[in-house]
Structure 1
Amino acid sequence: MTAVRRSLAYGLAVIIGVLSTPVLAHEPILKCVLLDPATVRCRGGYAEGETAQGERLEVIDHADRRLLAGKLGKDGTLTFARPKGPYYVLFDVGPGHQAIVEHDEISLPRASDRARWVRK
């Protein structure tokens, strides 16, 4: 009896592992930088390296008012004027698939950052 239970438990673990792999493959990634003190650029993509061209990005203040809604361009970026008060950037690609960047996490890129999307 224990051998049967062990086989069932092992089989169930394998099935759960196989079914959860596609979910992890599309984990959204969002990074935002200041291009200058008045301009923010965000780049959305997925954990496996794909950009998220055409996906929606929203900028929301802390009173839950939408300040901006836009779609990511061909390079997976969206550039916008920096809001005056506290805000966050929401990259929502479906139930359970969100990435959020708070305004106080957004800063100028490091001098060593050579990615083209973080340059004006």
Structure 2
Amino acid sequence: MAYSLSKQKKLAKIVAAERSNNINEALQEYKSLLVKALEVPSSTMRNVNMLLHLFGYFSKQLTQEEKIFFLDNLEKYQNKRVPFSLPLTIIKAWVIRFENEYLLSQKIFEAFPMELIEVTDSGKGI
């Protein structure tokens, strides 16, 4: 979703389609489209849209203060005052708190192995 919303919707259709007779064809089609989707660099605005989509899973369960806190930090991210990891971590905390297994399985929360991540990667480290 952070790379190409239109391609993400097409990928979802491939997964949803009944293809029990030719799973290999579906896998090949999915792989080809996924590669094309990932060729598009993510952008701040696409990330904001994705984060708002994730926020929508919890907005009815959150307090007004939590909503304000998240939206303020999302605006800071949009204005390049905080790294993407901040609003994403807030969302991940809610995923854990509300035990949303579907979202917890999404790779956006651990896109890279922890062994490869350093504090300095955000540009805000030591």
Same fold at TM > 0.5: no
TM-score, normalized by length of structure 2?
Answer: 0.29
Q: Of the two, which has the highest radius of gyration?
A: 1
Larger helix share, 1 or 2: 2
Larger strand share, 1 or 2: 1
